[in-house]
Amino acid sequence: MKVLECMKLTKIYDAYKKVGSVKALKGISFGVEEGEFLGIMGPSGSGKTTLLNILSGIDNATNGEVFIKGKNIIKMKRDELALFRRRNIGFIFQDFNLLESLTVKENIGFPMTVDKVKPEIIESKASELLNFLNLKEIENSYPYNISGGQKQKTAVARALAVNPSIVFADEPTGNLDSKSSRNIMDTFNKINEERKTTIVMVTHDPFAASFCTRIIFIKDGEIKLEINSDGDRRRFFDKIIEAEGAIGGDI
C-alpha cells in the first residue's frame, strides 16, 4: 500500500529584482510504499529540500498533488493541514529543533501535549520511546547538556511520538561526526525494520543513503535516476557512488 504519492509536482519561485523566475521542480511523480525507507539525493540546488518541504506540507507546490494515506494535502486549508501534519507526519531536522527549556523526556512528549493527549498517555508513550531508543539515562537532561547525537536521537523519538504514517528527515546526519552519524543511521534502520516506519530522507551522504531501500536522484528539478538496494549495504554504497558519478554535480 502506498503511504505517499506525488503527481506532477511543480514549484516555481517568482522573479525577484529583475531576476527571472526559477523552476525548482519540474513535474515530479513517484510513490512510497508502506514500510519503505526512501532516500532523495542530488547536487546542491537540485530541488531535493524543496521537494521534501512540499511532501511534508511545510511548503506549497505551484502545481501538482501530494497524497498521504489517500488524503490530498495540497487541497487542505491551513488549519486542516496543521492538524493532519500533527497527527500523521514526523519531521527530523538537520539542526534538531529541540526546545532548550524542556528536558529530553518533555521534548519527546511535546507533540502529544500540543495535541491535548492525556498526561498518562504522554507519560507512557514517552517512556516507551526512551527505552526503545536507549535514552532513559538522559531523560531529565536538557538539550544544552547532551551531545549532538543524543539530540538527534531525541528528535527521532519526538518524531515517533504521534505514531506517524510517515517520517521525513532533512539531512539528519549533517551536523554530526562520523560516529554519531553511524549511530543515528542505525537508529533509522531500527525504527524502519522493527516498527515498520515509513521514512523519506534527503541526504548528500552516500554512507547515510546506503541504509535506504531505494534512492531517487534529482537534478535540475527532475528525477534523473532511481536505484534499489538488494539488502547488501556495501554493494548499495558502491551503487550510490556510481550513480552520483552518472548524474554529475556536487552531491
Sequence-ordered strand ranges (E) for 196-246: 199-202, 214-219, 222-228
Q: DSSP label at 61?
A: -
pLDDT band at 191 (very low <50, low <70, confident <90, very high): very high
d(C-alpha 182, C-alpha 233), whole Å: 13
Residue whose cell numbers read 531508543: 133
CB 176 within 8 A of CB 94: no
pLDDT digits (tens, 9 = 90+) for 20-32: 788 899 999 999 9
Instruction: Give the domain CATH number at 209.
Output: 3.40.50.300
What pTM was estimated for this model as a whole?
0.94
Q: What is the mean pLDDT of the chain?
A: 94
Whether 244 contacts 206, CB under 8 Å:
yes
Q: Phi, psi (5° rounding) for residue 215?
A: -135, 135
Query: Which residues neighbour 241 within 8 Å (Cβ) at sequence distance 6 or greater?
Result: 206
The distance of Cα 206 from the centroid of its chain, to the nearest Å, equals: 16
The residue segments making up the domain with residue 67 are 2-247
The whole-angstrom separation of Cα 114 and Cα 41 is: 33
The rounded percent of the chain whose pLDDT value lies above 90 is 91
Say which amino acid occupies 38.
L
Question: Which pLDDT value is given to residue 14?
Answer: 80
pLDDT at 22: 85
Instruction: Count the domains in the chain.
Output: 1
Name, in order, each residue with C-beta under 8 angstroms of 248's C-beta and a sequence gap of 6 or more. Answer: 43, 219
**What contacts 3, CB < 8 A, 6 or more positions away?**
32, 33, 34, 36, 68, 69, 165, 166, 198
Residue 250 clears pLDDT 60, i.e. is over it: no
